[in-house]
Amino acid sequence: MSFSSDVKRELTKTENLLPCCFHAQVYGLVLFAHFSKYNLSITTENTDVFDLYSSYINDYCGVNTYISDGSSKKLTAYVKTDEEKSKVFDKFGHSLKEATLRINRANISEECCSSSFLRGVFLACGTVTAPERGYHLEFVVPYKKLCMDFIYFLEEMGLKPKYINRKGNHIVYFKDSESIEDILAIIGAQDASLYLMGVKIEKDVKNKINRKMNFELSNIDKTIDAANVQMEAINYIDKKCGIDSLPDNLREIARLRIENPEASLRDLGQLMDEPLSRSGVNHRLAKIVSYAEKMKAGE
């Protein structure tokens, strides 16, 4: 079972709604399935949503639903006659004669109803990707003007949806984890919201560990590269005129570098007869490299 299916199963178990909120939830589910004179139905693979839609049409709207006999895995429940469709439309203040379907705000009468309406919409046409795979939540809305109304509704709730037309379907979507967390919390999918937060925290921790490891590996590479340059310079000087030709303050650090090729600058400083700071060691080794380069140039 997918993460999206788990979320919908959780939402179908929502109980103890106020009458106004229950009405708004039914409206969201029925309106955003298929709501027209020609097609008042829902088609879904989710048996929980299918059963909920059927019960809303049968029990709340007082109209019989019929089940499609198709061989597909998807389930379809539909209202057959215009008389039955008209009864459902009347329940929500709509008419079969409407040329353009819009959200009737009278069905979202109180501020508390917005979350229930959004829950119904998600059950009808929403999906959410498992957070391990990425952050994506979308609504596939059947009609353009209904979609524009829905976008405005979301913006009123402080959300920032994005829109795309995908093969004739109107897609309202979110790709940032914060918005997805907010939506799941708003519609009452608390378990899913907490799970997403947990996955996000785990990802953040892993990313921080990876960044730290990459930083440390980068520093190790730089240390090795620098040590190689220093040893090459010291060996060149030793071959040409001997390490003893170096000034007293450079001779000791040159020998320590040859004897400890993998040591850090700080460690080299601690090995000296009179311990030296990291910057002091770096300065002396840089002078040795410069001295070798001048010898190569014949200066």
Please give the full DSSP string across 186-246, using - where no structure is assigned: HTT-HHHHHHHHHHHHHHHHHHHHHHHHHHHHHHHHHHHHHHHHHHHHHHHHHHHT-GGGS
Query: Does residue 299 carry a pLDDT above 60?
Result: no
Residue 105 DSSP one-character state: G
Distance of CA 45 to the CA centre of its chain: 25
- 281: buried, middle or exposed (CB in 10 Å: 19+, 13-18, 0-12)? buried
Q: Examine residue 24 and state whether it is found in any structural domain, yes or no.
A: yes
Number of domains in the chain: 2
Same domain, 38 and 183: yes
* Model confidence, pTM: 0.71
Identify whether residues 106 and 151 lie together within a single domain. Answer: yes
Does a structural domain hold residue 70?
yes
How far is it between the farthest Cα atoms of the chain?
107
DSSP 8-class letter at 74 = S
Residues 96 and 130 in one domain: yes
For residues 134 and 220, membership in a common domain is answered with: no
Rounded Cα–Cα distance for residues 166 and 242 (Å): 75
Percent of the chain exceeding pLDDT 90 equals 49
* Listed range (33-47, 134-148, 216-230, 260-274) with the worst mean pLDDT: 216-230
d(CA 299, CA 288): 14
Q: Same domain, yes or no, for 42 and 174?
A: yes
How many CA atoms are closer than 13 Å to the CA of 156, on its beta-carbon side? 11
Kindly tell me if the per-residue pLDDT of 235 is higher than 90. Answer: no
Structural domain harbouring 234: 205-294
Asked whether residue 198 is domain-assigned, the answer is: no
Same domain assignment for residues 113 and 259: no
- Give the CATH number, domain containing residue 92: 3.10.28.10
- Average pLDDT of span 53-61: 94
Which is it for strands 75-78 and 169-174: parallel, antiparallel or unpaired? unpaired
Q: Which of 142, 169, 163, 61 is nearest to 107 (CA)?
A: 61
- Whether residue 218 sits in one domain with residue 79: no
Q: pLDDT of 160-215, one tens digit each?
A: 999 999 888 899 999 999 999 999 999 999 888 888 888 887 777 777 777 777 77
pLDDT band at 221 (very low <50, low <70, confident <90, very high): low
Whether residues 23 and 153 fall in one domain: yes
User: Are 273 and 216 in the same domain?
Assistant: yes
Statement to judge: residues 184 and 209 lie in one domain: no
Nearest-angstrom CA–CA distance, 68 and 77: 6
Residue 195 belongs to a domain? no
Range with lowest mean pLDDT among 9-23, 47-61, 246-260? 246-260
